[in-house]
Amino acid sequence: MTMTEQKIALASLSRHLYRKGWMEGTGGNLSLRSAGRILITPSGANKGRIRGEDILELDGEGAPLDGGNRKPSAETAIHRVLYTLFPQAGAVIHVHTPEAILASLRGKTALPLPPLEVIKGMGFPLPEEAPPIPIFDNDPSVDRIARDIENRLRNTPAPLPVLLIRHHGTTVWGNTLDDALRHIELAEFCFRVILSLPYPSPAPDT
């Protein structure tokens, strides 16, 4: 796929996620890693109106290559940290959903997952041993969030390609854009199931 075709695919997925109600009010951002560069959505844009020509191309240091007055996502640092931590990652998706925000309140540093079959779709074979989803504190400084993610996930690799930022949203990664889309859909599916369960979870019958 050419760089232009990749930009078009990223913009199309942005519009798709916006239509799902997952990127309202300029929330959310998406990126692709391609040939050592990052293609990423512009900051502050309505994600339902993004076109291929709006996607920014960043060099290896995260500097925009195509200039102009558009700025890359304010959360570029988070995308870059995930690409550094996960060399196989080719795409990152970040959305704002009410379900993610409510789920992020159900754990201090991690959200326990019930043994849902769909967890297999996020690359973990044994749903009955589902690992928790890491939760990171939100912060006005995105760099601080990125550093927190790097420090924690460098030492305890995330078994699932998903993380939650409290009061904020969900971020997933995948080898391809299709993988990342599957991961975000299944992560949000899990949050909807979790929110329908009693909380705090009753102690298991003894």
Q: Is 197 in the site for ligand MRU (CB under 6 A)?
A: no
Tell me whether the omega of the peptide bond preceding residue 42 falls within 30 degrees of 0, making it cis. no
94 is in an annotated binding site: yes
What minimum distance in Å lies between the beta carbon of 173 and ligand MRU?
A: 15
Candidate segments 19-27, 55-63, 129-137, 190-198, binder of ligand MRU by CB under 6 A: 19-27
According to CB under 6 A, which one of 1, 4, 21, 44 is a site residue for ligand MRU? 44
- Of the pair 161, 169, the CB lying nearest Zn ion is at 169
| Residues found in the chain | 206
Task: Name which of 194, 25, 61 is nearest 119 in CA terms.
Answer: 194
Closest residue by Cα to residue 194 from 176, 170, 173: 170
Nearest to ligand MRU of 113, 177 (CB atom): 177
Distance, in Å, from the CA atom of 126 to the CA atom of 116, rounded to the nearest integer, reads: 9
User: Is 28 a residue that touches ligand MRU (CB under 6 A)?
Assistant: yes
21 binds ligand MRU (CB under 6 A): no
| Interface ranges with ligand MRU (CB under 6 A) | 25-29, 41, 43-44, 73-75, 94, 96
| Interface ranges with Zn ion (CB under 5 A) | 169
